[in-house]
Amino acid sequence: RIAQVMASVAASLARAPLAPTEFNASGNTTQSVRFHFEEPEGRVSHFVLAARSVNENFYRQRVAISDDGGRISPQKLGFNPGDSFYISVASVDRQGHESLFAYPEVRCDATTCAIPSYANDVTAPLPMPPPPPPDHDNDDD
């Protein structure tokens, strides 16, 4: 069952459009957040803006966005004015396939919106090199 779920997710992502790029936001959560991004090439029907609290790991609110000037209120995202949250955007095609969300997310609070300084610190340690092959060279001949 796990393999079926993994295959289904992989197939859905393979059919999905590319994620938006250059995502960023400005403003603050006491008034409204202005967002902008570069649309990917290809078959995109619309975009989904998602938000999550700074204390959550999953997006709690997803809003289909249209050409409304790139501005959204915290209330429309499910937050009270002044609450801190992260936002991002994904592409959706006509069949409903959704891309991954744009990375990095933007953190918005009561004073500003900004990409966290640690957002691009996504390096992983290199794997250990394999041990050298055993020495089968015998000089006993």
Taking the model in full, what pTM does it have?
0.76
Question: How do residues 62-82 score in pLDDT, each as one tens digit?
Answer: 999 865 568 899 999 999 999
Question: How do residues 81-105 score in pLDDT, each as one tens digit?
Answer: 999 999 999 999 998 889 999 999 9
Place of tokens 């250990």: 128
The whole-chain average pLDDT of the chain stands at 87
Edge-to-edge strand list for the sheet holding 21-27: 21-27, 33-38, 71-72
Average pLDDT over residues 128-138: 73
Rounded to 5°, the CA angle 132-136-140 comes to 145
48 pLDDT above the threshold of 80? yes
